[in-house]
Every structure is written in structure tokens, then in C-alpha cells.
Amino acid sequence: MSGLELLIYADVWTMQQIGKPYWKSNGTIGRQFDHDRRSVIRAVRRLEMRGYLISRQGENGRFLEALIPDAGSDPNATGDSAVTSDPNGRSGDPNATPLVTQMVASSDPNATQVENKREEEKKRKERRAKPRDFDEVMRFFDKLGEPELSTRFFNHWEMRGWKIDTARRVQDWMAAARKFIEDEQRFRDERGDIRRAVKREKQRSKGTVDWEDDLRADVAKYWYNESGDEDSTN
């Protein structure tokens, strides 16, 4: 058994003992053990041929399962002649080879933990990048007090595939929702200012604006800027 085969088998067996299916892709295994993808494929194929690994189909795709070959089995036998290991690493055959103990001892548990953390972080980023459905968006907007904007926000980003452009995806849809609400509130204020200015101009043209109102408006314009803050000339 080559060094790469030993590492792969030990990694699969270690993952299996903590009750998790071995979902890693060939590329991920290659990066973990510093080998190219083709070498990993050949190593896995040889392990399957010798009865150390078996490929199974799960709900989330293909995963590998570690087996302990029978002590008297043919080294070229397929995985069907192997015995599945129990949680304690023992085979159904009391005379089974103790090679698995040596493999587990030589495996790197830290590498498996790092890989698990990377996968968890990847899933966490995926959850932040896109809501599960419209109901989640509606609940979030309702919490922020703007439920009527939820449909516009969802339709806008759903149509774009939750992408900012062709190369960049939304990283945090909740942050995008807050920005969407802030922009809408600012537009409302601007539209309100425009409507009030138009209304006042109409009143001025009809002579219905009192001279005192004009005076107050001129004083306010002189001493205050457009945002309502006191002018720096004061």
C-alpha cells in the first residue's frame, strides 16, 4: 500500500468513527495530502479493488466507507469480500488484520478537523449569501418594520441570481436588505422635499403664501443648510 493510499484510508476510517460520511471530493483530498487529483483517483480505485474502501451513494452524493478486509482474503478482491468495521475498529472476523490500527495511528486528526471547519464555514457563507425562500425575506423585513418592501427586494435579487455582477455574488443578503431599506427611506424623504417645494411654488405663484412664511423660509435658508444642520458661517 502506497503512502497516499494509507493516508486516504486512515482519513476515511477516522471520519467514519465520529459518525460522519466521507464526502470529500478527489480535489479536496489531493489538496489535503499534497497530491494531484489523478493520483487520488488511482489511489482510491486501488483501495476499492483491494477491499479497503467502498463507494456508496447517499442523499447528498457519493461518499466513501472504510472496510477491513478478511484476513484470508485475496488482496485483489473487490469490496464485496470486505468486512465493515464497527465503531471500535474491530472486524467481524476475530483473525482480521490489525493494519487498520496502524493506519489510524498514523492519520492526522487535525487535518480532518480543519477540513470540517472549512466545510462548515463554506455552508455558513452560503446561508448568508442567499435566503432560503421568500418567507425568510418577508420575516426579516417585517422585523425591520418594512414588510411592504420585501417583495421588491426579493424579486430584484432573485432575477439577478443573487449576483452583484457576473463575477461577484452577494455575500450577506441581510446586509443588502438593510441597505435597500435605507435607500428607500432616503428616496422617500427626497420625494417628500420635492413635493413640498412644488406645492410651495404653486402657492407662491397664486399669491397664497403669507409674507411671514416667506421671511421665515429665507432666514432658515440663510442659517441652515439643506440637511437641517446649522451652517458653518454661524
Q: What is the pLDDT of residue 100?
A: 44
Q: What is the pLDDT of residue 211?
A: 58
Q: What is the pLDDT of residue 175?
A: 93
Percent of the chain, pLDDT > 90?
A: 20
In b/e form, how buried is each residue of 52-88, taking b as 16+ CB within 10 angstroms?
bbbeeeeeeeebbbbbbbbeebeeeeebeebbebeee
| Between 140 and 18, residue with greater pLDDT | 140
Q: Which cell numbers in the block locate residue 173?
A: 443578503
Strands 82-84 and 53-58: unpaired
Q: What is the pLDDT of residue 225?
A: 54
Placement of cell 435566503 in the chain: 131
Q: Which residues contact 162 (CB under 8 A, 6 or more apart)?
A: 129, 130, 169, 170, 173
Q: What is the pLDDT of residue 135?
A: 94
Q: 110-154: per-residue pLDDT in tens? A: 666 777 778 888 888 888 889 999 999 999 999 999 999 999 999
Q: 42-86: per-residue pLDDT in tens? A: 888 888 888 888 888 766 667 788 887 654 444 444 444 444 444
Q: What is the pLDDT of residue 155?
A: 94
Angle between helix axes 3-17 and 109-129 (nearest 10 degrees) is 60
What's the rounded mean pLDDT across residues 179-187? Answer: 91
Residue 207 banded pLDDT, cuts 50, 70, 90:
low
| Between 21 and 78, residue with greater pLDDT | 21
Q: What is the SS3 assignment for 152? A: helix
